[in-house]
Structure 1
Amino acid sequence: MSGLRQRERLAQEAVHLAPGASEESALGRRVFVEGRGAVLTDLDGNQYIDLAAGTLTQSLGHCHPEVVAALTAQAERLWNVHDFSTADRAALCDLLADLLPEQLDTYAFFSTGAEVVEAALRAVQAVAEPGRNRIGALRYGFHGKTQGARMLVHWDIGNQAFAGNSVLGYSPYCYRCPLDLEYPSCGVRCATLVRRHIAEKSNVSALVFEPVLGAAGVIVPPPGYWEQIAESCREHGVLLVADEVLTGGGRTGTFLAGEQFGIEPDLVTLSKGMASGFPFAALAGRAEVLRHPRAAQAGSTASTYANNPLGIAAARATLEVVRRDALIGQVAGLGALMDERLAQLRTEYQVLGDVRGIGLLHGLEFVRDRATRQPAPEIARAVYRHALDLGLRTAIGGHIIRLAPPFTIDRPLLEEGLGLLAQALERATGGQQ
């Protein structure tokens, strides 16, 4: 439970603060005042191991000294000159060219994930051939809360329905297969149906997708899914737009998650961990797309906070540490530890219907019954609250809890955090396994 000082502060701000906070914030009711590495401190002095890494953003943990130094130095010099060149932008471009696949050699910089997705959509619409006026996307996908991003996945609000011009294909959600099939005997039928959409609808200009669906609960595709779809897109002239806002920057054990599935995208959107939680986003793409005359018209990559020197400084500092300290290799090793510990928890607790993950990104899906797979959001909420009371922060959404520790977390602290998760499970289930 949050202490008296936190409850007083929350009551004070509630007088004026609009409702609609995230589920984890509304349930957790904590006031955090400090973060160092993988540890947070609240207003009452309680500490928490942060296995959610901010908003799955803190690739280097909280307040990494080199990122703090870069931001502080930049804040003393220059904050905003629209999209004029500044001292670090060329160096950041060179750094990205070193880290990204060779074909992604042209970049534009923005401030948020949703903003960079909108920029990718503008680029696609600019270069699309006449008649190619529709865009493909995947069910359960999440690309932001702006209208263009919402329209991709047919996300309606209230009585307003803006399905837009997108065509939805099946995601590789094996645990809840909409076709009632089982992998691998299914032959990856979901991918076959996406291919059919692409082949039969000659008006599709691009497929916008998350290589690993994050907000949906860390849906990791099985072998064969992306291989089929990418091949079909290439064959039919459909651009591949990979939304790696969550996964990009090394979280899955490669700089781009798509590298593990053989995806060679035409455009990639990046944000979250790229600047270790500081507002920053990048659009990376093939030169033939982003330098196309229709995509490169004046103002096409400009906005108020695009290219701001603070974000560029934070991103450059973050990525230099990631490269210098070989942190992506560390992600793979720590991810294997998480695989092992979480698989063990699933054998012990029947309420864990599915556990899945890749690198330092995992999803725990809670169910009331393994046979029916009925979602159990009340159990997820109980585990989440007990974990906080024990000193562990996770990320909850409905009946799923996500874990995404900082790349810099050491093995003993990660093991301690997973131990606290086990205690939270025991408390939430009353010890029933």
Structure 2
Amino acid sequence: MTGPLQRELLTREARRLAPGASEESALGRRVFVEGKGAVLTDLDGNQYIDLAAGTLTQSLGHSHPEVVAALTEQAGRLWNVHDFATPDRAALCDLLADLLPEQLDTYAFFSTGAEVVEAALRAVQAVAEPGRNRIGALRYGFHGKTQGARMLVHWDIGNQSLAGNSVLGYSPYCYRCPLDLAYPSCGVRCATLVRRHIAEKSNVSALVFEPVLGAAGVIVPPPGYWEQIADSCREHGVLLVADEVLTGGGRTGTFLASERFGIQPDLVTLSKGMASGFPFAALAGRSDVLRHPHASRAGSTASTYAGNPLAIAAAKATLEVVRRDTLIQRVDVLGALLDERLAELQATYEVLGDVRGIGLLHGLEFVRDRTTREPAPEVAHAVYQAALDLGLRTSVGGHIIRLAPPFTIDRALLEEGIALLGRALERVMGEQR
């Protein structure tokens, strides 16, 4: 339960703060004051294992000492001189060149995921051939809350329609197949339709996609999906723009999720875990795209806080630790443990209709009935709240709970976190009997 100090502060804050917070914040009603590694502490002194890693941002856990040191040192030297060069920026470019696939050899730096997605859209529009005035995207995709990002997925607000020129293809949501088919007998029909409606159209310039759809509930594509689409896009001159804001930096067991699926993107957007939660984003791309005369005009990659020295320092320190400590290999090991423990929970609780994931990124889909697969957001919310009361933080949205532990989490602490999740399920299901 939320303690008295937190209740008082939340009541005072509510008098001034606009509504519209995330579901997890509104439901959780916690005031966190400290984070160390994979453990959070609230205003009343209660501690929580954080299996959401901030907002899927804390790859190294909270307050990693080397990132803190890099930020502290930089804060005492220089904060912002627009987009002038700094020694750390050159070093970060070299580090990215070492970590990213060879074809992604040119970089631009920004502040947020949505900002870098908008930058990618500008680059696509700048280099697109005459007549290629449409962009493809996937249903259920999420690319940010700015207007261009919303237009990609036809995300309307109020009475305003912002469909723009984007063309939507089917996501590989096997658990809720929109075509009422079943894998593998479906022949990955969703991919065939993406090829037909996007990749093979002469007026489409690019396909913007999440290799694993994150906000939609960790939708992991089956074998054959990306192989068909990527090859067809390449054949028909459609640029591949991988939105790896959530997955980039190692969360799926490779530095880019694209690598796991054999995709060779032309542009990649990165943010979240790249700088341990400090506002930072990077656009990585092929030289012939980002150095194209129309994409590289003065100001094309500049904005007030883009690539500021503090963000660069946080990203450089984070990625140096990821590389030095071989944390991406650790993601695979811990991910296998997470697979095993979550499968045990699914076998025990009928309310878990589907459990899916890759590396240290998993989604638990709650249903009222496994036959009808009717979503059960009220159960997901109750489990999320019960877990908080037991000392476990997860990420909830609708009828799905996501887990994304820090790469550095101790195996025993991860086991304890999953045990607490099991206790939360047991408590909620016991109360509903």
| 1:23-76 alpha-carbon deviations (Å, 9 max, x no partner) | 000000000000000000000000000000000000000000000000000000
> Does the CA contact (< 8 Å) of 2:199 and 2:238 recur in 1?
no
2:200–2:233 CA contact under 8 A, matched in 1 = no
| Letter in structure 2 aligned against 1:418 | I
Alignment of 1:255-266 (within 5 A): 255-266=255-266
Amino acid at match of 2:329: G
Q: What do the CA deviations read for 1:143-166 (whole angstroms, capped 9, x no partner)?
A: 000000000000000000110110
Residue aligned with 2:8, SS: helix
> For residues 329-344 of structure 1, what are the structure 2 equivalents within 5 Å?
329-344=329-344
Q: Secondary structure at the match of 1:187?
A: coil
Matched, 1:39 2:8: no
Per-residue CA deviation, residues 267-311 of structure 1 (Å, 9 max, x unaligned), is 000000000100000000000000000000000000000010000
SS at match of 1:269: strand
Q: CA deviation at 1:201?
A: 2.2
Q: What letter corresponds to residue 263 of structure 1 in structure 2? A: I
Counterpart for residue 241 of structure 2: 241
In the aligned structure 1, how far is the partner of 2:102 from the partner of 2:410? 32
Matches within 5 A, 1:189-208: 189-208=189-208
1-structure distance, mates of 2:200, 2:363: 34
Q: Residues 199, 55 of structure 1: CA spacing in aligned structure 2 closer, same or farther, 3 A cutoff?
A: closer
| CA–CA separation in structure 1 for the residues paired with 2:387 and 2:327 | 27
Tell me how far 1:118 sits from its aligned partner: 0.1
| Contact 1:426–1:432 (Cα < 8 Å) also in 2 | no
Specify the alignment match of 1:22 in structure 2.
22
Aligned partners of 2:104 and 2:284 also within 8 Å:
yes
Structural mapping, 1:174-213, within 5 Å: 174-213=174-213
| 1:257-336 alignment runs, 5 A limit | 257-336=257-336
For 1:253 and 1:304, how far apart are their aligned partners in 2?
Answer: 33
| Root mean square deviation, CA, Å | 0.8
Stretches of 4+ aligned residues off by more than 2 angstroms: 198-201
- Counterpart of 1:70 in structure 2 is 70
- Secondary structure at the aligned position of 2:87 is classed as coil
Identity across matched positions, percent: 87
- The letter for the 1-side match of 2:322 is V
Aligned to 2:90: 90
Which TM-score applies when normalising by structure 2? 0.99
Larger mean Cα displacement after TM superposition, 422-431 or 152-161? 422-431
Q: Return the alpha-carbon distance in structure 1 between the equivalents of residues 170 and 33 of structure 2.
A: 42
Q: State how far apart, in whole Å, the 1-side matches of 2:185 and 2:200 are.
A: 25
With over 3 angstroms needed to count, the CA separation of the structure-2 counterparts of 1:199 and 1:97, relative to structure 1, is closer
Rounded Cα–Cα distance in structure 2 between residues aligned with 1:277 and 1:306: 15
For structure 1, the 5+ residue unaligned runs are none
In 2 relative to 1, CA 39–199 (structure 1 residues): closer, same or farther, beyond 3 Å?
A: closer
Structure 1 Cα separation of the partners of residues 379 and 16 of structure 2: 32
Deviation at 1:431, TM superposition (A): 7.3
Question: Contact 1:198/1:236 (CA < 8 Å) preserved in 2?
Answer: no
SS at match of 1:88: helix
- The alpha-carbon deviation at position 393 of structure 1 amounts to 0.1
1:105 aligns to 2:135 (yes or no): no
Which amino acid in 2 is paired with 1:162?
L
For residues 159-184 of structure 1, the C-alpha deviation after alignment (integer angstroms, 9 at most, x for no partner) is 00110110000000000000000000
Q: CA deviation at 1:199?
A: 4.8
2-structure distance, mates of 1:268, 1:171 = 19
| CA 407–200 in structure 1, closer or farther in 2 if over 3 Å, else same | closer
Q: Counterpart of 1:354? A: 354
Give deviations 1:356-398, integer Å, cap 9, x for gaps: 0000000000000000000000000000000000000000000
Could you say which residue in structure 2 is the equivalent of 1:384?
384
Matched to 1:257, the amino acid is: A
Name the counterpart of 1:79. Answer: 79
Contact 2:346–2:353 (CA under 8 A) maintained in structure 1 = yes
Deviations 1:315-368 (A, max 9, x none): 000000000000000000000000000001000000000000000000000000
Q: Contact conserved, 2:200 with 2:236, CA < 8 A, in 1?
A: no
Rounded Cα–Cα distance in structure 1 between residues aligned with 2:113 and 2:348: 37
Distance 2:391 2:213 in 1: 28
**Matched residue, 1:163:** 163
> Separation in 1 of the partners of 2:198 and 2:41?
49
The corresponding residue for 1:12 is 12
Q: CA deviation at 1:198?
A: 2.6
Q: Structure 1 stretch 192-201 or stretch 149-158: which is displaced more?
A: 192-201
- The letter for the 2-side match of 1:281 is A
Residue 86 of structure 1: CA displacement?
1.0
Task: Name stretches of at least 5 consecutive residues in structure 2 with no aligned partner.
Answer: none
Matched, 1:126 2:123: no
2: distance between equivalents of 1:283 and 1:314? 16
**2:51·2:394 contact (CA, 8 Å) conserved in 1?**
yes
State the partner residue of 2:228. Answer: 228
TM-score relative to the length of structure 1: 0.99
